[in-house]
């Protein structure tokens, strides 16, 4: 799909400086852009690239002053970064503007499929599932029985939403994600082996939830594993059975949350964090990457370390952690002097 500089300016309420009819068909970084590309300049550190870029159109701030000749057409806006973000969002929406049912898709006759949906090649949708309007299900995805998917949700290629799961409106389920798989429930037996505990609950995702590639959300043993409105999960995250995550919490990659823990609203959890089971994490908590959480955390806390404790205290303690070998050497020298 092609756009002219004038069309882009109209979309962003900006002004064109250069050829208003020049066309673009791709988005690029300013240092890598070629003819036909649209790019942007907002960080002064990248200013030298604007005089070398081959981009056909560059979005800049209104107050940008060129100090040399430019070969690129400018679109001047109040905030170049925000404007480019708007175009990225629009570009992604255009890419997913698909509808229709592929011939190779297998859809049970009992499935209720909303208007303007897309179901790609080799998808499978089982019985009694309800799919809302404008839902896009990309190739090789699996949707189990009795699943509900709200309007506007996108399920990317190879994702799996298993039986009885409930997905809200305008969610994004990325490739390889598995929602509704069995929780890790095994009871130790007298002979040292383990007996499987049936996982009979469900997973419920709120609206505007993002689930990253290859992330897994386990169904509850009983009841619900719940993810609140606006939650954003990065790639390769494990959410165990009966976990509850409050709205607008964001979690970075490779974090694992053990069974029955409750995470509050508006939390920010770094990558590779481990959270033990049956804990309560308050609202507005920030957990630094690679922390290990083994106790309840109060609202507004900022923590780090394993086991995790106050972020400020951790930073102060780290000064001593890294000097422990020297401190031990000095203590030993003092002991030798004092030893008669």
Q: What CATH number was assigned to the domain covering residues 100-315?
A: 2.160.10.10
Q: Which one, of 97, 143, 144, 138, lies nearest residue 121 by Cα?
A: 138
Q: Are strands 268-269 and 37-40 parallel, antiparallel or unpaired?
A: unpaired
Q: Are 30 and 24 in contact (CB under 8 A)?
A: no
Mean pLDDT to the nearest integer, 14-34: 93
Q: What is the pLDDT of residue 40?
A: 94
Mean pLDDT of 90-117: 90
What's the pLDDT tens digit per position in 179-217?
999 999 899 999 999 999 999 999 999 999 999 999 999
Residue position matching structure tokens 């507005």: 284
Q: Is 241 a catalytic residue?
A: yes
pLDDT of 295 strictly over 90: yes
Torsion of CA 327, 331, 333, 335, to 10 degrees: -170
Please say if the pLDDT value at position 329 is more than 90. Answer: no
The single residue of 241, 246, 249, 291 carrying the catalytic annotation is 241
pLDDT (0 to 100) of residue 8: 93
- CA atoms of 286 and 207, how far apart (whole Å): 23
Nearest alpha carbon to residue 31 among 47, 8, 9: 47
pLDDT tens digits, residue range 124-156? 999 999 999 999 999 999 999 999 999 999 999
Tell me what pLDDT residue 238 has.
Answer: 98
The two structure tokens encoding residue 14: 């900006």
Percentage of the chain exceeding pLDDT 70 = 100
Q: What angle do CA 235, 236, 242 make, to 5 degrees?
A: 110
Out of 3.40.1390.10, 1.10.10.10, 3.40.640.10, 3.50.50.60, select the CATH number for domain 3-95: 3.40.1390.10
What is the average per-residue pLDDT within 25-34?
92
Q: Residue 340's pLDDT is what? A: 63
Mean pLDDT, range 160-164, rounded to an integer = 98
337 pLDDT higher than 90: no
At residue 21 the predicted structure's pLDDT band, cuts being 50, 70 and 90, is very high
Average pLDDT, the chain: 93
Domain boundaries defined on the chain: 3-95, 100-315
């Amino acid at each position: 799909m092609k756009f002219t500089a004038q069309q882009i300016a109209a979309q962003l309420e900006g002004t064109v400086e250069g050829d208003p009819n020049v066309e673009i068909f791709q988005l690029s970084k300013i240092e890598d852009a070629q003819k036909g590309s649209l790019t942007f300049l907002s960080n002064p550190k990248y200013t030298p690239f604007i005089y070398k870029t081959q981009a056909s159109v560059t979005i800049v701030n209104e107050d940008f002053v060129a100090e040399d000749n430019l070969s690129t057409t400018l679109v001047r806006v109040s905030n170049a970064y925000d404007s480019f973000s708007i175009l990225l969002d629009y570009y992604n929406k255009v890419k997913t503007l698909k509808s229709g049912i592929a011939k190779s898709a297998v859809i049970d006759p009992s499935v209720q499929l909303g208007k303007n949906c897309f179901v790609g090649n080799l998808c499978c949708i089982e019985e009694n599932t309800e799919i809302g309007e404008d839902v896009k299900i990309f190739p090789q995805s699996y949707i189990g029985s009795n699943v509900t998917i709200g309007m506007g949700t996108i399920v990317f290629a190879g994702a799996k939403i298993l039986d009885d799961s409930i997905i809200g409106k305008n969610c994004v389920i990325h490739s390889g994600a598995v929602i509704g798989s069995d929780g890790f429930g095994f009871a130790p037996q007298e002979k040292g082996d383990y007996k499987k505990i049936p996982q009979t609950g469900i997973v419920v995702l709120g609206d505007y939830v993002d689930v990253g590639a290859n992330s897994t959300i386990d169904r509850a043993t009983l009841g619900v594993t719940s993810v609140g409105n606006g939650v954003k999960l990065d790639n390769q995250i494990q959410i165990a059975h009966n976990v509850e995550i409050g709205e607008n919490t964001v979690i970075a990659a490779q974090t694992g949350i053990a069974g029955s823990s409750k995470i509050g609203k508006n939390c920010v959890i770094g990558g590779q964090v481990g959270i033990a089971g049956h804990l309560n994490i308050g609202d507005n908590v920030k957990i630094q990457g690679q922390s290990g959480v083994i106790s309840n955390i109060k609202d507004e806390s900022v923590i780090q370390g394993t086991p995790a404790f106050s972020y400020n205290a951790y930073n102060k303690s780290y000064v001593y952690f890294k000097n422990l070998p020297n401190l031990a050497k000095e203590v030993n020298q003092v002991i030798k002097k004092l030893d008669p």
